[in-house]
C-alpha cells in the first residue's frame, strides 16, 4: 500500500507538480483551520460595517466551518456573521465545529427552505440597517477578501459589487445562452454585469429593500438560481453591478464540498437559461440591451431612493 501511494505521488509530481503543490498547500491550510477551530477564542466579528451571510445543507454542514474560519481570519471582520439553515434539528444541535464558532460570535439562525436564496432573503426580511455580503459555504477565502469588497463598496456605495462576475452577451437583440456569457473584465458598473456568489457579493441596502419588496416569487421563477433572481431585481430597480478587480477572483474549493452542487442542473443542463427567461422581463431586457458597459454616470436615483425608504433604514 505504501509503495503504491509513493508511486502515485511520483506520477502526480511528474505530470503536474504545480497542482500537487496546490493540493498540499490546501491540506496544510485545512489542518491549520481545524486547529484554529479547536483552540481559538478570537471573535469572528469585528468593526466592518457589514453583515456576512452564508447558508449550507446536507453533508456540507460538517465542512462549512472551514469557510467560516477563513472569514473570521480576515483582515476585516464583519459586524455580524450569520449562518442560515432550514434544518431545525441542526440549528438546535449543531456540530461541535459550529458550536465552537457560535461561542465566538457566529449566529446560527433558522429559516424556511429558500434554497440558495437563504444567503439573501431571510436577512432582507429583517429590515436591515447594515449592508450584506453573501458568501458561499464551499470556498476558502483569503485574508484580504472582505477588505477588498468593503473598499470597492466605499467608492461605489449604491452598486452591487462582486469579486467574480459575468458579462451578459447578446445575439442581436436576444440574450445569448448562459454558456456563452463571458468572464467580466474591468470594474465599470453595468446592467450587463452579473455577479456570481461563489467569490462573495456586496449588496447595498437599496438592493436588500428591493428583495424584500419583491417577496418570494423566486420560488416560482428561479428556485435554484439566487444570483439570477437578485440580478433581475437589481435591474428592475435601477441598480447596476460591478466587479472588484479587473479579472474574476477565484478561490480554492473546500475538498469534498462539491457533491450536490447546482452546477450540473443550472449550467450543463441549461437550467440557468430557463430561470433567466422566467425572471427577466421585457423592461429589464431592454435596459440591459441599451446599457453601455463602460458607462460610469449616476444610477436612476428615484428607484434607489424608493427602495431605501421601503427598507426603513
- Span 283-304, mean pLDDT? 62
Pairwise CA distance, residues 237 & 88, whole Å: 34
Distance CA 159, CA 21 (A): 38
C-alpha cell at 230: 437578485
Q: Is pLDDT of 272 > 60?
A: yes
Question: What is the 3 state secondary structure string of 174-188?
Answer: EECCHHHCEECCCCC
User: Where does 16-128 have alpha helices with state H?
Assistant: 17-39, 64-72, 88-92, 96-103, 121-125
d(CA 148, CA 132): 14
DSSP state letters, 40-53: ----S--SEEEEEE
* pLDDT tier, 260 (very low <50, low <70, confident <90, very high otherwise): low
**Could you give the 3-state DSSP secondary structure of residue 243?**
strand
pLDDT band at 297 (very low <50, low <70, confident <90, very high): very low
More confident residue, 270 or 250: 250
Q: What residues does 132 pair with on adjacent strands?
A: 51, 203
Element (H, E) at 255: none
193-195 and 165-167 strand pairing: antiparallel
pLDDT over 60 (residue 299) = no
The model's pTM is 0.86
For the segment 301-310, the average pLDDT, to the nearest whole number, is: 34
- The stretch 279-306 carries a mean pLDDT of 64
Q: Is the pLDDT of residue 76 over 80?
A: yes
Asked if residue 176 lies in contact with residue 272, where contact means CB atoms within 8 angstroms, the answer is no
3-state secondary structure of 156: coil
pLDDT tens figures, 138-169: 999 999 999 999 999 999 999 999 999 999 99
Q: Nine-digit cell at 210?
A: 428591493
Exposed/middle/buried for residue 40 (C-beta within 10 Å: 0-12, 13-18, 19+): middle
Residue with cell 440574450: 175
Whole-number CA gyration radius for the chain = 20
Q: Which residue has the cell 437589481?
A: 234
C-alpha cell read off for 303: 428607484
Residue 96 scores a pLDDT above 60: yes
16 and 10 Cβ atoms separated by less than 8 Å = no
pLDDT of residue 295: 45
Mean pLDDT (the chain, rounded): 88
Least reliable range by pLDDT among 7-16, 18-27, 82-91 = 7-16
266: pLDDT strictly greater than 60: no
Burial of 65 (0-12, 13-18, 19+ CB in 10 A): buried
Cα separation, 115 vs 81, whole angstroms? 19
Q: What is the mean pLDDT of residues 41-63?
A: 97
Tens digit of each residue's pLDDT (9 = 90 or more) over 98-145: 999 999 999 999 999 999 999 999 999 999 999 999 999 999 999 999
pLDDT of residue 220: 96
Helices marked H in the chain — which ranges? 2-15, 17-39, 64-72, 88-92, 96-103, 121-125, 145-155, 205-214, 218-221, 226-236, 263, 271-279, 282-290, 301-311
Note whether 79 and 133 are within 8 A (CB).
no
Q: What is the pLDDT of residues 195-232, one digit of tens each?
A: 999 999 999 999 999 999 999 999 999 999 999 999 99
What pLDDT does 139 receive?
96
**Rounded to an integer, what distance in angstroms lies between the CA atom of residue 239 and that of residue 69?**
32
What is the band of 259 on the pLDDT scale with cuts at 50, 70, 90? low
List 241's β-bridge partners, or say none: 160, 190
Does the pLDDT at position 7 exceed 70? no
- Report pLDDT for 15: 64
* Strand, coil or helix: 61: helix
Amino acid at each position: 500500500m505504501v509503495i503504491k501511494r509513493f508511486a502515485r505521488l511520483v506520477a502526480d509530481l511528474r505530470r503536474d507538480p504545480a497542482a500537487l503543490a496546490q493540493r498540499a498547500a490546501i491540506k496544510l491550510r485545512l489542518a491549520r483551520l481545524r486547529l484554529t477551530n479547536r483552540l481559538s477564542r478570537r471573535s469572528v466579528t469585528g468593526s466592518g460595517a457589514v453583515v456576512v451571510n452564508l447558508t449550507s445543507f446536507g453533508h456540507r454542514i460538517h465542512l462549512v466551518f472551514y469557510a467560516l474560519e477563513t472569514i473570521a481570519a480576515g483582515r476585516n471582520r464583519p459586524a455580524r456573521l450569520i449562518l442560515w439553515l432550514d434544518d431545525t434539528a441542526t440549528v438546535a444541535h449543531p456540530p461541535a465545529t459550529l458550536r465552537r464558532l457560535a461561542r465566538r460570535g457566529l449566529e446560527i439562525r433558522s429559516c424556511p427552505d429558500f434554497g440558495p436564496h437563504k444567503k439573501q432573503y431571510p436577512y432582507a426580511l429583517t429590515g436591515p440597517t447594515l449592508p450584506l455580503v453573501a458568501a458561499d459555504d464551499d470556498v476558502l477565502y483569503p485574508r484580504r477578501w472582505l477588505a477588498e469588497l468593503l473598499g470597492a463598496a466605499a467608492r461605489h456605495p449604491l452598486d452591487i459589487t462582486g469579486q467574480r462576475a459575468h458579462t451578459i452577451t447578446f445575439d442581436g437583440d436576444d440574450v445569448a445562452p448562459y454558456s456563452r456569457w463571458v468572464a467580466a473584465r474591468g470594474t465599470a458598473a453595468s446592467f450587463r454585469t452579473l455577479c456570481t456568489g461563489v467569490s462573495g457579493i456586496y449588496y447595498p441596502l437599496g438592493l436588500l429593500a428591493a428583495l424584500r419588496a419583491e417577496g418570494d416569487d423566486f420560488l416560482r421563477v428561479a428556485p435554484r438560481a439566487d444570483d439570477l433572481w437578485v440580478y433581475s431585481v437589481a435591474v428592475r430597480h435601477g441598480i447596476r453591478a460591478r466587479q472588484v478587480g479587473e479579472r474574476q477572483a477565484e478561490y480554492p474549493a473546500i475538498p469534498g464540498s462539491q457533491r450536490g452542487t447546482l452546477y450540473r442542473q443550472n449550467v450543463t443542463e441549461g437550467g440557468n437559461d430557463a430561470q433567466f427567461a422566467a425572471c427577466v422581463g421585457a423592461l429589464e431586457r431592454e435596459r440591459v440591451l441599451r446599457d453601455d458597459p463602460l458607462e460610469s454616470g449616476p444610477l436612476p436615483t428615484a428607484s434607489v431612493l424608493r427602495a431605501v425608504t421601503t427598507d426603513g433604514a
